[in-house]
Each structure stands twice: as structure tokens, then as C-alpha cells.
Amino acid sequence: MNITKPSLQRIARQAGIKSMSDDCVDIIRTLLHAKTAEICDILILQNNCTKTIMVDDVYAALQSLNVNLARSDNLGQSVYQLK
């Protein structure tokens, strides 16, 4: 199951992109799949193969990848950065 082109276009428009080619959509899908798989691998390792993950687990996995996301409880303290 892929993320649809309209879904990716909506996300891109929120980021200020006016239009995207079909090639870009395919590349973005590939990148999202790879990054999601990487995050899930870390979640599995950190949670001892449990079947349920929590929001804090996702934030911890992202921090181990050096990705800092602002949370509602610390919006002024953290900025999104992708390494």
C-alpha cells in the first residue's frame, strides 16, 4: 500500500511547494518507506519486540536517529532537524 499522490501533494503544499512531478512522488515514497522501516527497526530493538508502541517510544526512536521534533509540551525548546 502506497501513500497516494494527492496525499503527498497536500503535504508538499503545506510546506510551500506548488507542484510536483510524478518522478518526485516516487522518490518521496521510497524515502518515506526507507525512513519508516528504519524507525520501526529501532522501535523493535528498543521495546524488546513488544507489539504495542507508545508515542514516547516513537520520540525516543527519532532521537536516536538525531531527529528532534517539537512536542506540545516543549514547543519552544525543540526544532525539527534531519541529519
- Domain extents in the chain: 5-64
pLDDT score, position 29: 92
Instruction: Answer yes or no: are the C-beta atoms of 58 and 44 closer than 8 Å.
Output: no
For residue 27, which of 54, 51, 5, 43 has the smallest C-alpha distance?
5
User: Does position 75 have pLDDT exceeding 70, yes or no?
Assistant: no
Prediction pTM value: 0.66
Q: Which CATH class is domain 5-64?
A: mainly alpha
pLDDT score, position 34: 92
CA distance 75 to 77: 6
User: Does position 47 have pLDDT exceeding 60, yes or no?
Assistant: yes
